Amino acid sequence: MNDSDKTTGGEVTWHPDPKRPDFTPPSGAVDAHCHVFGPAGEFPFAPERKYTPGDAGKDMLFALRDHLGLSRNVIVQASCHGKDNSAMIDALRTSGGLARGVAVVAHDIADDELDMMHEAGVRGVRFNFVKRLVDATPREVFMRTAERVQRLGWHVVVYFEAPDLADLSPFLKELPGIVVVDHMGRPDVSQPVDGPEFARFVTLMEELPTLWTKVSCPERLTVAGPPYDDVVPFQRHLVERFSGRVLWGTDWPHPNMKSHRPDDGLLVDTIARIAPTPALQQALLIDNPMRLYWPDA
């Protein structure tokens, strides 16, 4: 892989030549958080987007999956595509059943369109509260959407930053079904893992048995940089304490990264540090994502 294969004028934020991981994922491992961007000539980016990425389509994603020794993908709708899920849906339809999706939908989406998405492989809907990425949406709108997708057995994915957790907690407790928090709620990893900020999130996980989280994105959370020694304790704490409700993903192609281009092979190598036993690796990479996204497999 090289940059000349990947750019179309937008921002390239992924590594041009990721290493082959030293850690070998167990057979059937799932990358439970990744994206597709475009190609813009076929799937234009949303006019209201806050950033413009380079093209990073399904073929690149599936090639990376194989390069890393993974087996399946969960493709999360990226904010640069807004509520047009066409690129994600196209990737699902051509994955041979090896990909599932998480959509971003309009509040007035028709039931038959939700049914179409479900048939294609969508199994969740995402609510983004990160103000620098999206415009604000009233919580009652999100709640109605969450209630509507329960008939399909979908879950809700929420993306927010740690300072917003206290305000969001009542809303999270009211959401129906399973709720998955992206990237551990973006903790401040310069604070202690046993400090009050992260304890607020851990306590919410304890109180809500329907709350799951993705122990992903050390490259975004780190202060120290690769190999993310400052983030690993937070990830490992959640994996060991909530082994049946954690997911892992690469976040490829790493939208909006400013500090460095993450090496996805290195990200795979962190798995052995955050899930240090075969049993924890099995739960994190296979059992949990399969239960949520491929329950009938």
What pTM did the predictor assign? 0.95
**Least confident span in 78-82, 207-211, 227-231:** 78-82
pLDDT at 7: 38
CA distance 12 to 7: 7
Give tens-digit pLDDT for 1-43.
333 333 345 889 999 999 999 999 999 999 999 999 999 999 9
Q: 238 and 215 in contact (C-beta within 8 Å)?
A: yes
Residue type at position 95: S
Residue 209 preceded by cis peptide, ω within 30: no
CA distance 231 to 221: 7
Name the one residue in this structure whose structure tokens are 């934020």.
13
Span 260-285, mean pLDDT?
A: 98
pLDDT at 137: 84
134 pLDDT more than 80: no
CB-based burial of residue 239 (10 Å sphere; 0-12 exposed, 13-18 middle, 19+ buried)? Answer: buried
pLDDT at 130: 85
CA distance 45 to 84: 9
222 pLDDT more than 60: yes
234 pLDDT more than 60: yes
Span 217-237, mean pLDDT?
A: 98
Identify the active-site residue in 31, 251, 263, 264: 251
Q: What is the residue-wise DSSP string for 101-138? A: EEE---TT--HHHHHHHHHHTEEEEEEE--TTTS----
At the top level of CATH, the class of 3-293 is: alpha beta
Query: Is residue 251 annotated as part of the catalytic site, yes or no?
Result: yes
Strand order through the sheet with 99-103: 30-34, 72-76, 99-103, 122-128, 155-159, 179-181, 211-214, 246-247
- Across 68-81, b (16+ Cβ under 10 Å) vs e yields bbbbbbbbbbbbbb
176 pLDDT more than 60: yes
Q: 271 and 284 in contact (C-beta within 8 Å)?
A: yes
